[in-house]
Structure 1
Amino acid sequence: MATKKEKSTLDGPRIPDQLASLTAEDYEIQDKQAFENGRFSQGTIANQTADKVSFDRVIFENIVFDQINLERAELTDVVFNRCDLSNANFRDSILHRVEFNNCKMLGFDLSNSTMRNVKFDQCNGQYSVYRFADLKQVSFQQSNFDKADYYQAVLSKVEFTETGLDQTQFSGAKLAGIDLSSCEFQSIGITLEGLQGCIVTSDQVRSFAHLLGVVIKD
């Protein structure tokens, strides 16, 4: 019996037409600080460490996040356009109706985070980390997430479309109903139990032959 493919319908960010210009370059971000109804454009936010910062109805455009540690952040109705979030630390955060468009996010850390209605579109997320995260209605589109880490993540109604996943770690996660047929990978880290119900092509089955203890002979 064919496995039914899970499809998610994302609820996009709700951003007002008029946004104030915001900047975090000239002062230190404080714990529990709130940013609302604003736009950060063209710049670098560097050397900032704060806890429980919130961003509500905010757009980041062409922003470089350098040495950023914003654990337990809350992001609601937020858009990142052409930003560099490489090695930024957003562990234990909550993301709701958030988009990452054409962003560089090498090593971006969202471990233990809760994500709802989140889209990654044309992003470079190699080595990014989602260990123990809870992802529901999340879409990865035309992106590169090779060597990303989803260890023990909960994945529900998650889409991977034309996305690189080579050597990505899914150990402890379950891919039931998730369609990887349009994705590129030579191998991924997964258990046989976690793979049950995943949708793949006949060619991709070769990548999982070792889980069955079989050798495919051409």
Structure 2
Amino acid sequence: MKIDTPKIPEDLRDRRFTDIFYEEDPEFEMCMVTDSNFSNEALDRVRLYKTVIRNCNFTNTDFNRIDLTDVVFENCDLSNADLSHASMNRVEFLNCKLLGSNLTESYIGNTRFRESILNMVTFGSSKLEKVIFDDVALESADLYKCKLKKVEFLSCNLNGASFEETPLKGIDISSSNFDSLTVSIENLKGCIVSSSQAIQFALLLGLKIRQH
């Protein structure tokens, strides 16, 4: 699946993330932010455009209603951050940690999470469109009542993830692994699974499989 990637210009200005407090509105455009510690802060309706954020710490930070367009996060820690009601378009998270982060009621489009940890993330009531999870840990992630459109899970750990009230029609999880998954049988219709996963689902349903 092809998704639109972040459009990042060549000439980015170097900034510390704390500089955002001195802006008239909490926004950065065409910036390169590196090695900033912005944990345990609160900033409503932050807007980031055409910006690269590298080696930064945002643990426990409240970024409610954050607006991200053409942004790359690299080696960042956003564990337990509040990113609820976020709007994301053309965003990449590379080697990032979003352990226990809150992404409920968000719009996430043209976004790639790669080699990142999203265990216990909550996506409840979010819309994900053209999103690729590539080699991502999503253990015990909660995708309750989400709308998934053109979403791929490539070689992910989905163990204990919950897809309650989320239709998985057309969603490919065949290259990912899990021991258990919460999903109702009607929402599993049209989901693309591997043959070993099909056996797993059959066992979860209580079917007894006779090997010939």
Shorter-chain TM range is: over 0.9
The residue aligned with 1:58 is 51
Select which of 81, 85, 100 maps to 2:78: 85
Whether the 8 Å CA contact 1:96–1:115 is kept in 2: the answer is yes
Secondary structure (helix, strand or coil) at the match of 1:65 reads coil
Which runs of structure 2 are paired with 1:155-166 in the superposition (5 Å)?
155-166=148-159
1:12 Cα deviation after fit: 0.2
- Alignment-mate amino acid for residue 199 of structure 2: R
The residue aligned with 1:201 is 194
1:214 Cα deviation after fit: 2.1
Which runs of structure 2 are paired with 1:46-195 in the superposition (5 Å)?
46-195=39-188
Describe the shift of the 1:37–1:73 C-alpha distance in structure 2 as closer, same or farther (beyond 3 A).
same
The one-character-per-residue Cα deviations of 1:12-58 (angstroms, maximum 9, x if unpaired) are 00000010011133674889511111011012112221221100111
Q: So what's the TM-score if we normalise by structure 1? A: 0.91
- Alignment-mate amino acid for residue 215 of structure 1: K
**Which segment is superposed worse, 107-116 or 201-210?**
201-210
Describe the shift of the 1:67–1:30 C-alpha distance in structure 2 as closer, same or farther (beyond 3 A).
farther
- Alignment-mate amino acid for residue 100 of structure 1: F
Secondary structure (helix, strand or coil) at the match of 1:84 reads coil
Please state if 1:20 is matched with 2:6. Answer: no
**Which segment is superposed worse, 151-160 or 28-37?**
28-37
**Which segment is superposed worse, 111-120 or 24-33?**
24-33
Structure 2: distance between partners of 1:58 and 1:184: 33
Gapped regions of structure 2 (runs ≥ 5): none
Structure 2: distance between partners of 1:34 and 1:150: 29
Q: So what's the TM-score if we normalise by structure 2? A: 0.93
The one-character-per-residue Cα deviations of 1:106-126 (angstroms, maximum 9, x if unpaired) are 112111000110000100111
Aligned length: 211
1:216 Cα deviation after fit: 3.0
The one-character-per-residue Cα deviations of 1:155-208 (angstroms, maximum 9, x if unpaired) are 000000001100101011011111111001111110111100011112112332
Aligned Cα root-mean-square deviation (Å): 1.8
Gapped regions of structure 1 (runs ≥ 5): 1-7
Whether the 8 Å CA contact 2:63–2:84 is kept in 1: the answer is yes
Secondary structure (helix, strand or coil) at the match of 1:136 reads strand
The sequence identity of aligned pairs, in percent, is 35
The residue aligned with 1:5 is none
Structure 1: distance between partners of 2:83 and 2:65: 7
**Greater share of strand residues, 1 or 2?**
1
Structure 2: distance between partners of 1:57 and 1:189: 37
The structure, 1 or 2, with the larger RCO (C-alpha pairs under 8 Å, 6+ apart) is 1
